[in-house]
Amino acid sequence: MVLAFLLAPADVLSQTPSAGPAEILEELHDLQEEFERYRESRIPVEMERSGGSCDERIGRICIWFGGDGEESYPAEFREVKQARIELIRSLFDGFEEINDAWVIGQLVHYLVESRNMEEAERVATECGIQEQWWCSALHGYVLHVWTRYVPAEAAFRDALEAMSDEQWEMWTPPRYIFTRDGEQEFNGAPAAERDRKWELFWQLSDPLFLFQGNDRLTDHFARWVVATNRRDAADPLGMEWEEDLEETLIRYGRNTGYSRTHNPGRAFGGLQDTRRMVGHHHPMSRGYLFPEEYMESPSEIPPESWITAPREARTWYAPPYAPEIRGLETQVGRFRRGDEMLVVGAYRPTVFDAGIDGRVVSAWGPDGGIEGDAHTALFLIPEDGREPLNIRGTEPEGVLTLHAPPSRYVSGLEVVDLEGRQAWRARQGVIQRPLVPGLVDVSDLMILKEGVPLPESMEEAIPNVRPGVRLKTGERFPVVWEVYGLRIQEPIRVTIGFSQGRPGFLTRVGEFLGVIEPDERIDITFDERGPDQVQTVFRSMELELPDLDPGEYTLHLSLDLRGRSPVVTSRPIVVER
């Protein structure tokens, strides 16, 4: 039996003390391959159930998202666990004879696979091989799987510093995770620009800023550790290691388990073995990487442009601390406060109502069912690499505000339910340039909650900002905005209207479906000050939503000024029945 062979290696190695390093290394390679083939043989064979096509094909590999079926794989048999223990003993014995990078890599890999994390960390820390970068990388791998992301990232960065240029060029470019065109554009940038983009890309790809460390970055490096270990070793899927396996691993991550299937329909003439190994991933895997098409100007990314559904995602990941991250209903706006920018973020985490199809309810409300503590935060990530800004809170639904210098940012609003291991997030670009003297600017439009009285200032309006932009046909709702830089008693006409769809980078004012205009011209007056001073004028109005079909629309505000270009701002909305 294979098992009997696997239980023998430690004795075999100890009985051949005269074996040279090459013979010992070859013996350990054989034992590792025997274990993987034994693991495969002990997985029960089931009839293949998937009748659909691949969601993605990479060389020999067919990838499809199995949903809840991703967890439908058999538990590992006890004899496989025992065989792994014996392989680990053999690797320990072999490493005492030869301090080899391949041996210690396999040793750490199987120690982690057996969840012996303390021993894996000890081995990776003591290490003892010449390739110091590989010691640091193995240490980072152990710490990442152990969910210690901050020291894991530090260890991986030590590995990057110590590795050869050839190895560095393999680990740091966005190989596989970008499209070919995106990778070429990234690699073609000057070295300093490439380093800046690399840091910003991974910072913006962090699933949740609320948690210390960047587990998406450390998981990426952990995938490269596994790929390095697999290049000259037997793979659990029973295939020769080639580039298609490497790309699949880097894009979709490490397998959570394995199953084995059989499809008689694939056989020709009855002579072909149609059994195959299937690797499984977490059922909540999603795409969290920042979209490569916005890397030239991340602050221009529209709201909620990246938590990508698994079938559309180029890469997969599921954070262990919150495998399910949903989109967060938000309304984010910018306002000028002297030389600073005030960012206002209203939020409401929601879940689908089990009783009514398509209806969403507050996650912490009576229908949502969540009772534990909420952890919330509003973040601003500067494009230029400066330190992020943030403010934290504990209210499951509310408004957060943050002051920042005018600049280009990506904002993040997050709510986490630690007990339920779930989270909500929304991200979007935020751009505020210093106001040029003599020009007029307008803040973002903010929609307030239904039924609240019209406020007289933005400070009065902020607590009542609506968390989200869902509106019902016929609903009356207040909107507020601020205007900056008007001349004394300068006449202004305000036009508010709706267009179908979301706005592009420039709003489509000429595509109004219906226009709401005040009966009288609006003349805005304010305290007398110098004509080149920045003046702030607050305005609020109550609107009634026209009879629009359900769908996505854009609410526009246009300020027409005599002798000046119109000033426009927009707010995407969702109309419901």
- Predicted TM-score (pTM) above 0.75: yes
| Cα dihedral: 93, 94, 97, 101 (round 10) | -130
CA distance 387 to 380: 9
Q: 15 pLDDT exceeds 80?
A: no
DSSP characters over 185-202: HHHTS-HHHHHHHHHHHH
Domains, in order of start, for the chain: 2-44+61-280 (no CATH), 318-434 (2.60.40.10), 436-577 (2.70.50.60)
Query: Which pLDDT does position 494 carry in this prediction?
Result: 84
Query: Which pLDDT does position 518 carry in this prediction?
Result: 43
Query: DSSP state, 220?
Result: H
Q: Are 428 and 411 in contact (CB under 8 A)?
A: yes
CA distance 206 to 213: 8
Query: Which pLDDT does position 509 carry in this prediction?
Result: 32
Q: Are 55 and 315 in contact (CB under 8 A)?
A: no
Closest C-alpha to 430, from 447, 443, 411, 446 = 411
Tokens, residue 398: 């509310």
Count of residues making up the chain: 577
Q: Are 112 and 104 in contact (CB under 8 A)?
A: no
252-306 pLDDT, tens digit per residue, is: 999 999 999 887 655 545 555 567 889 999 999 999 999 999 999 999 998 876 7
User: Which of 2-11, 200-209, 308-317 shows the highest mean pLDDT?
Assistant: 200-209
* C-alpha distance from residue 411 to each of 92, 243, 398 (Å): 49, 37, 17
Mean pLDDT is lowest, of 43-47, 144-148, 331-335, for 43-47
Cα atoms in the 13 Å half-sphere on the side-chain side of 17 = 0
The mean pLDDT value for 324-341 works out to 94
- CA 373 vs. chain centroid, Å, equals 23
Query: Which pLDDT does position 503 carry in this prediction?
Result: 57
Nearest-Å Rg of the Cα atoms of the chain is: 29
Residue corresponding to tokens 């590995």: 159
Q: What are phi and psi of 568, to 5 degrees?
A: -130, 140
CA distance 129 to 502: 57
Q: 394 pLDDT exceeds 90?
A: yes
Mean pLDDT is lowest, of 191-195, 305-309, 416-420, for 305-309
Mean pLDDT is lowest, of 217-221, 268-272, 351-355, 458-462, for 268-272
69-125 pLDDT, tens digit per residue, is: 788 899 999 999 999 999 999 999 999 999 999 999 999 999 999 999 999 999 999
Closest C-alpha to 151, from 164, 136, 170 = 136
Q: 566 pLDDT exceeds 90?
A: no
Q: Hey, which bits of 407-523 come out as E strands?
A: 408-417, 422-431, 441-442, 446-447, 470-472, 476-484, 492-500, 514-516
**Alpha helices (H) along 146-190:** 149-162, 165-171, 180-187
The percent of residues above 90 in pLDDT, for the chain, comes to: 67
Query: Which pLDDT does position 488 carry in this prediction?
Result: 74
3-state secondary structure of 269: coil
Question: What is the sign, positive or negative, of the torsion defined by CA atoms of 155, 160, 163, 166?
Answer: positive
Q: 195 pLDDT exceeds 50?
A: yes
CA distance 354 to 367: 9
Closest C-alpha to 403, from 376, 378, 428, 384 = 378
Query: Which pLDDT does position 8 carry in this prediction?
Result: 43
The mean pLDDT value for 206-233 works out to 98
Closest C-alpha to 407, from 298, 502, 506, 332 = 298
Higher pLDDT, 506 or 474: 474
Q: 13 pLDDT exceeds 70?
A: no
Instruction: Name residues whose C-beta falls within 8 Å of residue 188's C-beta, 6 or more positions apart in sequence.
Output: none
Q: 483 pLDDT exceeds 80?
A: yes
3-state secondary structure of 28: helix
Query: Which pLDDT does position 535 carry in this prediction?
Result: 72
Q: 482 pLDDT exceeds 60?
A: yes
